[in-house]
């Protein structure tokens, strides 16, 4: 209830989302859709209405479910990716009394036929346009199967790499996450899918990094850190929203009316529908807030959860709750209206048998591969590169390639496994490098491990011998495929399996080491960073990823990714992010100041960090005005120069800090960024427009404030910024 009072005060930044655009192939206008929905609702029985509000768990054979669809009792299915079944469900829906079309949902996120790098890597490109492209291609692959609803994008901001699901999001920063949230929604929708932005809300802040645990989030934190990417997704037209599993301040989101109805639907003006997460309504019993599934279902429905994902409770109990007055029929109508609205907006009522006739439709694999390659190339983050260990040039000589993952064609190290498609051919890193050897270069390979994830050794000594014979060692390590993603939290974030032991042995050889790390989350690489001369974070690069990796390692392409999440020095520093609040006692090195006695206060690699094969100088920062009114803007010109000898891309980043405020404000907050390419010696001035209204924040009462105050604006190639200037926001 606390939020109920609070959110009535929400201010400017949370104005209702723009009306969702209506697809051209649908009824034509929002008013026409509303009228069609009303006409249809008037003809529906209660049973048919409830049928639109849930899907069952996937069960084989599907025949009983197909029959239920024919009776008008199921309006959507999850994980049906076999076009034969989609055709059968669609036919049954057409044959039902009212012929209401179905939604077919899957987690089309980044891996169907062609596997892209995961969304955390998309964020590392700092190119929302590439995320849009990737989402578009994934959507096209899903659409080709007949799927029309994806459970994406996941936009949970998180500062905790122990939590395995950071792989699905855009990292720790609300501004970056919002840019990627909007881009992903646009891409999936352009590719023909309805989206479900998730997980609303706060799921990225689980206690101890343990998936599904509770969160404690203050009102300002909720509104300033966790909510903005959802707002961005709604503005981009996300048709549906998925509620999260977690509790916030003791109340599960699945029964949280203040969040789901008051904030999301009323305050943000969301008029699509809200689904629960998988069996989350049933889990209200385990949360200890409902006696049984019936009570849980009524609680969830009353909170504003329109759609029951696989708990079965709406199907079983909503009619009884209507009969005895616990739920009003008007509330059922509102939920059904939301579902039907989405179906009309998607143009599903316009579909005929012919639309399903030629499933699966062909997709231009070559085009999807090109996108996957481009995303991979731009996502790699070079954390360090001492003594120009990279790129591997003709002068490099003998290269030892170590690590079983380097010879593995397995490219879908994602637990959002590919569905419905046969896996495509992929090149191994070993093969991709071998093709690129120039005269004078040789490559000798040793797996070192028995499995692609480095769990068990195989011929460790042979690998060491190969390293000893070489001039440089390229060591490819991978975060074990089993230990990332949903439900996989870690307390230790070092290299998994035997891979660190192998690194220790390789370091003993004294050879320069290039560490290529495939991972879905920030790892703790403090010791490894002492042992390796160069570190390239390759994320899980996907079907085209190893080829892209070889391009970057050999210098055909320069790395240009930047970290979307802080890499800590030690697990004990977690949660860690760049945008913390200042403390009354900043670290001075002496006792009674903020910090750890046994570890440095800084991260190993900060948010926004990433090197390339050239260097950049930040020459100057110039403001158009020293003052800006609360409703005004100023321009910030940042001049960057390529000081190296080859062309390269740099992400110019702009941060601000409000120096004096009515509450403590973060030491830095990302406000703008742009990825630019500069030739050697070239300088460019990038102009950013800062709007005073974008610098505001929420107070404990949920009120949005933009205060007249002094600010600092900072610019650089990472959150460890290089330039700063001061300005003042004035009342008028």
Given the rule CB under 6 A, which residues bind ligand NOJ? 107, 151, 198, 277-278, 486
CA-atom Rg of the chain in angstroms: 26
Using alpha carbons, list the distances in angstroms from residue 665 to 213, 547, 582, 594, 699.
27, 44, 7, 17, 11
Measured from each CB, the residue nearest to ligand NOJ is 151
Candidates 277, 306, 412, 480; catalytic one: 277
Q: Is the dihedral of CA 689, 123, 500, 436 positive or negative?
A: negative
Report DSSP letters for 461-505, one per residue: HHHHHHHHH-SEEEEEEE--GGGSSTT---S--S--TTHHHHHHH
* Shortest spacing between CB 246 and ligand NOJ, in angstroms: 10
DSSP state of 289: S
* Shortest spacing between CB 198 and ligand NOJ, in angstroms: 5
Distance CA 463, CA 191 (A): 45
In the annotation, is 277 catalytic? yes
Distance CA 606, CA 415 (A): 28
Provide the 10 A C-beta neighbour count for residue 36. Answer: 16
CB-nearer residue toward ligand NOJ: 204 or 595: 204
- The torsion angles phi and psi of 672, rounded to 5 degrees, stand at -165, 155
Cβ–Cβ under 8 Å, residues 626 and 662: no
* Shortest spacing between CB 305 and ligand NOJ, in angstroms: 14
Alpha helices in 489-584 (DSSP H): 499-508, 526-531, 545-553
CB-nearer residue toward ligand NOJ: 163 or 278: 278
Q: Considering only CA atoms, which of 518, 517, 564 is closest in space to residue 540?
A: 518
* Shortest spacing between CB 204 and ligand NOJ, in angstroms: 12
Cβ–Cβ under 8 Å, residues 651 and 677: no
Q: 618-639: b or e for each residue (b if 16 or more CB lie within 10 Å)?
A: beebebeeeebebeeebebebb
CB-nearer residue toward ligand NOJ: 274 or 695: 274
CB-nearer residue toward ligand NOJ: 122 or 151: 151
Token digits of residue 129:
């346009």
CB-nearer residue toward ligand NOJ: 154 or 368: 154
Report DSSP letters for 147-210, one per residue: --EE---B------TTSGGGGGS--S-HHHHHHHHHHHHHHHHHTT-EEEEEEETTTT--GGG-
CB-nearer residue toward ligand NOJ: 243 or 670: 243
CB-nearer residue toward ligand NOJ: 57 or 508: 57
- The torsion angles phi and psi of 150, rounded to 5 degrees, stand at -115, 145
Distance CA 165, CA 718 (A): 24
* Shortest spacing between CB 152 and ligand NOJ, in angstroms: 8
Name 324's Cβ contacts closer than 8 Å, sequence gap at least 6. none
* Shortest spacing between CB 197 and ligand NOJ, in angstroms: 11
CB-nearer residue toward ligand NOJ: 141 or 277: 277
> What are the residue numbers of the active site?
277
């Amino acid at each position: 209830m606390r939020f109920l009072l609070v959110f009535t005060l929400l201010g400017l930044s949370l104005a209702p989302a723009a009306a969702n655009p209506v697809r051209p192939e649908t009824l034509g206008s929002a008013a026409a859709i509303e009228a069609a929905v009303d006409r249809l609702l008037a003809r529906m029985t209660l049973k048919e209405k409830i049928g639109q509000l849930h899907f069952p768990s996937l069960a084989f054979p599907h025949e009983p479910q197909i029959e239920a669809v024919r009776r008008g009792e199921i309006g959507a299915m999850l994980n049906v990716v076999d076009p034969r079944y989609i055709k059968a469900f669609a036919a049954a829906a057409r044959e039902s009394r009212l012929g209401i079309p179905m939604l077919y949902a899957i987690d089309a996120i980044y891996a169907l036929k062609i596997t892209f790098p995961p969304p955390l890597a998309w964020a590392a490109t700092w190119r929302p346009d590439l995320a849009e492209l990737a989402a578009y291609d994934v959507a096209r692959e899903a659409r080709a199967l007949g799927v029309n609803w994806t459970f994406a994008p996941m936009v949970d901001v998180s500062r905790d790499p122990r939590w395995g699901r950071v792989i699905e999001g855009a990292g720790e920063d609300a501004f970056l996450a919002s840019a990627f949230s909007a881009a992903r929604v646009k891409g999936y929708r352009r590719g023909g899918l309805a989206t479900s932005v998730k997980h609303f809300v706060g799921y990225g802040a689980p206690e101890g990094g343990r998936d599904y645990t509770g969160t404690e989030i203050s009102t300002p934190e909720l509104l300033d850190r966790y909510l903005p990417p959802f707002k961005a997704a709604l503005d981009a037209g996300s048709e549906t929203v998925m509620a999260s599993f977690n509790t916030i301040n003791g109340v599960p989101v699945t029964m949280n009316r203040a969040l789901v109805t008051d904030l999301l639907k009323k305050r943000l003006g969301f008029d699509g529908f809200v689904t629960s997460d998988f069996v989350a309504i049933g889990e209200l019993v385990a949360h200890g807030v409902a006696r049984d599934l019936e009570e849980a279902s009524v609680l969830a429905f009353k909170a504003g959860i329109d759609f029951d994902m696989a708990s079965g409770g709406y199907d079983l109990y909503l009619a009884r709750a209507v009969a005895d007055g616990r739920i009003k029929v008007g509330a059922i109508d509102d939920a059904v209206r939301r579902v039907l609205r989405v179906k009309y907006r998607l143009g599903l009522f316009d579909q005929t048998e012919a639309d399903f006739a030629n499933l699966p439709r062909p997709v231009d694999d070559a085009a999807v591969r090109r996108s996957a390659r481009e995303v991979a190339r731009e996502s790699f983050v070079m954390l360090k590169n001492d003594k120009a260990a990279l790129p591997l040039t003709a002068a490099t000589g003998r290269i030892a390639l170590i690590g079983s993952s380097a010879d593995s064609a397995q490219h879908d190290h994602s637990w959002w496994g590919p569905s419905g498609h046969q896996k495509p051919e992929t090149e191994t890193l070993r093969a991709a490098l071998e093709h690129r050897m120039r005269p004078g270069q040789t490559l000798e390979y040793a797996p070192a491990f028995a499995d692609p994830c480095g769990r068990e050794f195989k011929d460790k000594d042979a690998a060491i011998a190969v390293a000893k014979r070489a001039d440089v060692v390229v060591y490819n390590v991978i975060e074990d495929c089993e230990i990332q993603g949903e439900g996989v939290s870690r307390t230790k974030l070092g290299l998994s399996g035997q891979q660190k032991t192998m690194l220790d042995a390789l370091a003993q050889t004294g050879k320069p080491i290039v560490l290529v790390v495939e991972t879905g989350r920030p790892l703790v690489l403090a010791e490894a960073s002492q042992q390796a001369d160069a570190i390239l974070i390759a994320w899980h690069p996907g079907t085209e990823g190893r080829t892209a990796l070889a391009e970057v390692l050999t210098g055909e392409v320069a790395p240009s990714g930047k970290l979307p999440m802080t890499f800590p020095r030690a697990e004990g520093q977690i949660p860690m992010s760049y945008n913390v609040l200042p403390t009354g006692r900043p670290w001075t090195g002496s006792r009674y100041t903020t910090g750890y006695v046994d570890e440095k206060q800084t991260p190993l690699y900060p948010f926004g960090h990433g090197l390339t094969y050239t260097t950049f100088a930040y020459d100057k920062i110039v403001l158009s005005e020293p003052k800006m009114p609360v409703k005004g803007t100023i321009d910030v010109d940042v001049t960057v120069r390529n000081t190296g000898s080859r062309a390269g891309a740099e992400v110019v980043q702009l941060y601000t800090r409000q120096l004096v405020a009515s509450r403590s404000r973060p030491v830095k907050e990302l406000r703008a960024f742009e990825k630019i390419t500069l030739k050697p010696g070239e300088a460019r001035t990038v102009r950013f427009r800062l709007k005073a209204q974008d610098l505001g924040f929420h107070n404990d009462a949920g009120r949005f404030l933009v205060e007249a105050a002094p600010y600092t604006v900072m610019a650089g190639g990472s959150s460890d910024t290089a330039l700063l200037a001061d300005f003042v926001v004035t009342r008028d």
